[in-house]
Structure 1
Amino acid sequence: MPPVYRLAEVGVYSLLNFLPLMVLALYPFRHRLRFSKAVTAVLVLVLSVVQIFLGWQAAFSSSNAGLLSAVSTLLYAAFYFLAVKVNMGKTVFTLLLLSNNASFIVMSSKCLEGQLFPALAHQSYRWSFSLCMFLIEAFIWTPLFFYMKKVYTPAVEKEPSGIEWRYLWLIPATFYLIWYYTLYGNSSKTSLELALEPKNTAALFFINAGAFLVYYIVAKLLIEQQKNLRLHEKNHLLAMQSLQYGYLQDKIAEARRSKHDARHHLALMQELLKKGEYSKLSEYLGSYQNALPDVSDRIYCKNTSVSALLAYFAQQAENSGIEYVVNADIPEDIKADITDLSVLFGNLIENALHGCIDDKSEHKKIEINAKADSYSLCIAVDNTFTGTPVTDADGSFISTKHGGKGIGIDSVKSIAEKYDGIAKFEYDGRMFYASVMLNI
């Protein structure tokens, strides 16, 4: 049985090597945890105890040190993938980013220990090592936390599409291979001997500094991409509002014309009434009633903004010879941002309209089904399309209105993600199906 002070030394090292890393890894996804924060905290504490136990086994059972270190790493990674509900690429990127810095902290701590406590530096897990690690972490992890909070978290909370993170994790993986090869690729020295040489710590510092510059640029580019998407959505919303305004202006002009024409109709009906020509009056009233527009056909739901948008596209579909069917039940007081609804409906219906216009079939149809309750909003927009939709290597549909991926589809996916919902786009060779569910 090792002395208590040795158990304490190994335990403190295990916590310093694990807990700060775990806190930083969970912070960017604190709103996307699979469990409640309280349950997650309890699980982290349990895993901390396990890490201490594994550290004891590795420190006092040298034959299994390598295996126990691998088990410790696997447990850490498995818990992280289980605890966080985000794109796999984001979690891998985050783990590699922080693991690279954790390796640098361990190596620089051993180097500092060699300078301050040369007699203890050749021993494993001594209090001097933990002290040096604490000092290095205080110096590095504080700015690292601000980077994670101010730059990295905004970049990973949302993104225009999910495909970026399928490849971005290769960046920290590449830097890991670079510093690993730089230190161990052409050297026969042990890891302890390499760590005690200041030149290796200096080299690793510059590699990590360059890596962080790249991480910073990548995060900023993603944030800028999000801003461009938001700007596109706002421009699209303004376009939708302009279209609605034009539609309302047409209706106002139509109402004025009807009011003006009504005077002539009333004058004629009064003349027929004076002459007692009741049969002609009845016939004229019937024809006049049939000539009046059916306003009820243009009111699609109780939400006036969505109804006006649906009515505008109904006119567009009618002008293009497209059958337009709407079943909508959306209340006026729906718990969703009207800006998001306008962008969502506008993009979905506009895409369907362009799909039908490009379609070569004789019968063209757009069918819209939308229903909202206190908890969710479900939208399905289906349109006929007998062409061949273009997709990229990831299966994402590419716009036929312009080069590149359809920005409208990305906007829809972004809004769905904002409300923790889903957006699906499918094609069966005859119909194009777009469906969205928002948690409101």
Structure 2
Amino acid sequence: MSETIQVLFRTLVTCACPLALLFAMSGFRCTRKTAWAAFWVIALLGTAVCFTLILTVGLEQMWRVYFIVLLVPSLLFLLFATTDRPSQVLFNFFTAVNAFYLTAILSHFLLGADEEPIWAGVLFRLAFFGLIVFVFVRWLREAYRFIAANMRRDWRVMAVLPLLFFALVMFLGLYPHKREDNLMGVVFLYVILCVVYFVIYQVFHNTYNLLKATSENDALKSQVEALQRQADAVSRNDEKIRVYRHDMRFTMQVTASMLERGDVAGALKYLGESDAKLNDTSLVHYCDNAVLDALIAYYAEKAQERNITVTAHMDLGVELPADELELSTVFANAMENAIHACGKLPKDVKRRIELTAVSSPHFCIEIANTYTGEVAFDGEGFPVTKEPGHGLGTRSIAAFMKKYNAVYSYQLADEMFRFQFLINWPKKPTE
């Protein structure tokens, strides 16, 4: 009975470990709770089937169909619950299975062919595969998920790589029967596979850094352009004020002459026209912080050029709870997304963007735009899109929220898509 329990537990680890990496690599449109529930359902289902196969046809036969036992329920769930394409799901699946077969081979070398005692093999697999999942989640997932969201055409080619390696390993190691004579060949294949994945990682990482730097550069350019426009507006305004001051003496003389003649109505009308010219010299200000004020004015002008109405109620001071550049980048990305969303609306739908901000007692921001249709969200509550070239702005916002421990919310209600976040300042960001 004790040995049966150990075999059952090893079977559970055999099913749960690759699923953990597979689920970590996937981008879900459902909540984390739902994803984890599905993870355990599939893991337990796979464990039950695999354990039954071990008892009825033996361990060797189970290993031959092991990937199919996990493949069918995993694909059925992931194809409906994730934002990934089928080819990407296959890439994730065979990557996870290959990683676990590598773990099993290492266990075979270190603990012996029969992995005695069984508990030693189980602990080794848990420790080694846990390290793989930890490394992926800690250092690789952000770049991988961004590339996954933006690379649409090449996943079929990418999916072929782990699939071919898996087929070669199965052919050399388990078909037509379990073969110990090809063990070194299988190990050599995994060495090649690790090199291939390292190259893929380098491509993903460099591409991610390049796109991230490009996005930050674009945001900085927008801020510089916004400040330049604001400076130009101030310069033009100063020129108007100088002209108005020059004409002020003439205005007073004309008004005095009208009053001397008793033409009070004419004098009032003339003063009203002069006052209108004076109002034309005033600039629209959204907040006291110069960079944010210029940036919001810049995007408000861009929106109005596209027939999008912008309303703003902002009570922000000079001091901010976050780095000025980082916070303005969040505003820039959010405003770009709002303008882009409004631009896709039908012509008969009113387009508007609403900005609301307060700095006391907490720093709270809401950026809302009219929207029709449905929005898909990932497991962290961020909106996802299948449009190529979009998504980096959202990931940049996500990194900001994590750094400053911000509470955020995306929601669609009453035909308005609302992005809200709160920073409990002067709380400092996490490193």
Q: TM-score range by the shorter chain?
A: 0.5 to 0.7
Q: How many angstroms apart in 2 are the aligned matches of 1:294 and 1:243?
A: 21
1:86 alignment partner, one of 80, 83, 94: 83
Deviation, structure 1 residue 60: 1.6
1:140-176 Cα offsets, whole Å, 9 max, x none, are 652x2353134321213445x9340552463253133
Name the counterpart of 1:131.
120
Indicate how the Cα distance of structure 1 residues 220 and 285 shifts in structure 2: closer, same or farther if over 3 A, else same.
same
1:330 alignment partner, one of 291, 307, 312: 312
Name the counterpart of 1:15.
12
CA RMSD in angstroms comes to 4.9
Name the counterpart of 2:381.
none
1:439 alignment partner, one of 411, 414, 419: 419
Deviation, structure 1 residue 235: 1.6
Equivalences for residues 34-433 of structure 1 within 5 A: 34-37=30-33, 40-62=35-57, 65=62, 70-81=68-79, 85-88=82-85, 91-112=89-110, 116-117=112-113, 121=114, 127-128=116-117, 131-132=120-121, 134-135=123-124, 138-139=127-128, 141-142=130-131, 144-158=132-146, 162-168=149-155, 170-178=157-165, 180-181=167-168, 184=171, 190-194=176-180, 197-224=182-209, 225-273=211-259, 276-279=260-263, 282-283=265-266, 285-287=268-270, 289-290=272-273, 292-293=276-277, 295=279, 305=293, 308-309=297-298, 312=301, 325-332=307-314, 338-342=328-332, 345=335, 369-371=352-354, 377-379=367-369
Percent identity reads 10
For structure 2, the 5+ residue unaligned runs are 317-325, 344-349, 357-363, 372-385, 400-407, 421-431
1:270-307 Cα offsets, whole Å, 9 max, x none, are 3554xx2232x643552453363484899889678377
Q: How many angstroms apart in 2 are the aligned matches of 1:263 and 1:368?
A: 45
Deviation, structure 1 residue 52: 2.6
Q: How many angstroms apart in 2 are the aligned matches of 1:179 and 1:169?
A: 16
Moved more, 281-290 or 148-157: 281-290
Deviation, structure 1 residue 59: 0.7
1:91-116 Cα offsets, whole Å, 9 max, x none, are 54433322221122234434555xx3
Q: How many angstroms apart in 1 are the aligned matches of 2:167 and 2:340?
A: 52
Q: How many angstroms apart in 2 are the aligned matches of 1:158 and 1:370?
A: 27
Q: How many angstroms apart in 1 are the aligned matches of 2:250 and 2:269?
A: 16
Deviation, structure 1 residue 378: 4.0
Contact 2:303 2:339 in 1 (8 A): no
Contact 1:112 1:132 in 2 (8 A): no
Indicate how the Cα distance of structure 1 residues 270 and 346 shifts in structure 2: closer, same or farther if over 3 A, else same.
farther
Number of paired residues?
Answer: 366
Deviation, structure 1 residue 372: 5.3
* TM-score, structure 2 as length reference: 0.65
Q: Match of 2:201, as an amino acid?
A: Y
Contact 2:352 2:370 in 1 (8 A): yes
Contact 1:371 1:377 in 2 (8 A): yes
Indicate how the Cα distance of structure 1 residues 76 and 380 shifts in structure 2: closer, same or farther if over 3 A, else same.
closer
Secondary structure of the 2:184 match is helix
1:43-63 Cα offsets, whole Å, 9 max, x none, are 544444333321221112229
Which structure has the bigger radius of gyration? 1
* TM-score, structure 1 as length reference: 0.64
